[in-house]
Chain A
Amino acid sequence: MNQTTRSHSQLRRMVYAAMFGALTAIGSLIVIPMQPVPITLQTLFTSLAGVLLGGSAAALSQVVYVLLGIIGLPVFAGGKAGLGILFGPTGGYLIGFIVGAYIIGKITEARQEPSLVWITMALVVGNLVIYTVGVTQLSLVAHLSVIKALLVGVVPFLFGDLIKLVAAVLIAFKLRNTFKL
């Protein structure tokens, strides 16, 4: 009996991971007009996966998202797709999503009843991780200095990401009780 419930919850975790992979993909298609660059909801679902699914399932959900792009669905930011994007200058962000979601999940899991402040902290750290991995690949692949890479790869998105962060905290708090794995 005990074993059935455990395998059941493991399967549930996997299906939720697939779902959050799909949600992240859909999120990149939802564009909200903004200055200076329009924002997409994809990182919103990356953050939510971290908070709601916990470390490993969240990372799995982002692996699924990246694979969806690799097999040719236009689900990377701005309708891009394919392995070329993963190797290219912006591919670091995709790897960053996997690492970031894992870290957000791990930080959230560290507390039994994470407070609003704790979740916010987890999301801030997670976003910093995504930026770090993204900027590292950008400056390595495109042979840019770190300052230039920050100028191209972080500054235009800061404001939109801040808005998504606030939204993610609010949504995570509303959904946390519904998502009992």
Chain B
Amino acid sequence: MYNLGQYIPRQSPVHNRDPRVKLIGVVVLGIIILQMNITGLLAVTALFLVISLIARIPVSSLLNSLRPVLPFFFFLFLVYVFFTPGHPLPWFSFGPVKISYEGLQLGIIQISKFLLLVVAASLLTMTTTPSEITMGLERLLRPLRFIGISSYNVALLVSLALRFIPMLLDEMNSIKEAQLARGANVNQRRISGKIKSITNLAVPLSINILRRCDDLVDAMESRGYHPGPRTYLYELALTRTDYGLIATLTGLLIVFLIYHP
């Protein structure tokens, strides 16, 4: 009913990789992409196209995932174009407003970097289910126990929150309907009205949800829940390919850090 994730189920070598490998891949590529020049960016674009081909993910759905970021990136692009000093382009000057060649170049390179970052992350979330990513993160975050954070607990909270979201949407809809039925005006135009409509939604939502949380705590307590190491129904296991990929990624990062200090 609430299909919030971006996962596209397929049988492919990309889907079958261990979530940890894919997470490390996104992080490493993320670091590298932000420092790249135009040739590097084209190479990464080609790499992503190959990955999406192997994963049998249509390029159109990758482009779709870029849609939400476009308004802000476009705004940022305009800032680069109009506020970068440099040689003005002759055919683009309207009085005091000038577009510089440097600005246009900088804008295109920067925005492509940001778009590629989003594509990298989308490739991860389209080929990996949310619960797999949570498991992968839990394993990768285990060293955090040295600063007193239990990754088991963090993973549990993420799964709980995933479970809460549809519940919250239901709750929110019923509060809205109840208020509409009593003749509430939801499209307040005045500032005080807007504040009031925010309060009128958030207060009952929080109180109702609080009750559900307390029930959940009781249920967990009475089943003997205790925080700490747990076992899983399906344990993650790295294959030889996975180790190879991790080694390649680490090598790539080291080489890159040496040549781009």
Taking beta carbons and an 8 Å cutoff, which residues of A are in contact with B?
Answer: 7-8, 10-12, 14-19, 21-23, 25-26, 30, 32-34, 41, 44-45, 48, 60, 63-65, 67-68, 70-75, 78-85, 87-90, 141-144, 148, 151-152, 163-164, 166-167, 170-171, 174-175, 178-179
Q: Does B233 contact A (CB under 8 A)?
A: no
Contact A67 B75 (CB under 8 A): no
What is the distance, in angstroms, from B261's C-beta to the closest C-beta of chain A? 16
Contact B79 A82 (CB under 8 A): no
Interface of A is mostly: helix
What is the distance, in angstroms, from A77's C-beta to the closest C-beta of chain B? 8
Contact B161 A64 (CB under 8 A): yes
- What's the Cα separation between A85 and B76 when bound, in Å? 15
Contact B161 A83 (CB under 8 A): no
Contact A71 B165 (CB under 8 A): no
Interface string of B1-20 (1 = CB under 8 A from A): 00011110000000000000
Taking beta carbons and an 8 Å cutoff, which residues of B are in contact with A?
Answer: 4-7, 23, 26-27, 30-31, 34, 65, 68-69, 71-72, 75-76, 79, 83, 106, 110, 114, 116-122, 124-126, 128, 130, 133-134, 137, 153-154, 156-158, 160-162, 164-165, 168-169, 172, 187, 191, 194-195, 197-199, 201-203, 205-207, 209-210, 213-214, 216-217, 220-221, 225-227
- Given known contacts A21-B157, A26-B169, A144-B79, A90 and B72 CB-to-CB distance under 8 angstroms: yes
Taking a contact as CB atoms closer than 8 A, the residue among B118, B126, B154, B198 that contacts A85 in the complex is B118
Task: Report, nearest first, the 5 A-B pairs whose CB atoms are least far apart.
Answer: A82-B121, A72-B125, A84-B117, A84-B121, A22-B164
Contact A11 B225 (CB under 8 A): yes
Taking a contact as CB atoms closer than 8 A, the residue among A44, A83, A88 that contacts B198 in the complex is A44
What is the distance, in angstroms, from A126's C-beta to the closest C-beta of chain B? 17
Contact B122 A84 (CB under 8 A): yes
Can you show 28 pairs from A to B with CB atoms below 8 A apart?
A: A7-B226, A11-B220, A15-B217, A15-B220, A16-B213, A17-B157, A18-B158, A18-B161, A19-B164, A22-B168, A23-B209, A26-B168, A26-B169, A32-B194, A32-B198, A33-B187, A64-B161, A68-B161, A71-B5, A78-B69, A78-B71, A80-B69, A82-B122, A148-B79, A163-B191, A163-B195, A167-B195, A175-B207
Taking a contact as CB atoms closer than 8 A, the residue among B7, B68, B117 that contacts A74 in the complex is B68
Residues of A within 8 A of B120 (CB): 82-84
Number of A-B contacts (CB under 8 A): 205
Residues of A within 8 A of B205 (CB): 23
Contact A148 B83 (CB under 8 A): yes
What is the distance, in angstroms, from A1's C-beta to the closest C-beta of chain B? 14
The chain A residue with its CB closest to the CB of B33 is A87
Contact B121 A83 (CB under 8 A): yes
Q: Which among A12, A19, A44 has the highest number of chain B CB atoms within 10 Å?
A: A19
- What's the Cα separation between A45 and B119 when bound, in Å? 29
Residues of A within 8 A of B69 (CB): 78, 80, 85, 88
- Given known contacts A26-B169, A78-B69, A84-B120, A18 and B157 CB-to-CB distance under 8 angstroms: yes
Q: Which among A48, A70, A87, A167 has the highest number of chain B CB atoms within 10 Å?
A: A87
Contact A60 B199 (CB under 8 A): no
Contact B5 A72 (CB under 8 A): yes
Taking a contact as CB atoms closer than 8 A, the residue among B23, B114, B214 that contacts A88 in the complex is B114
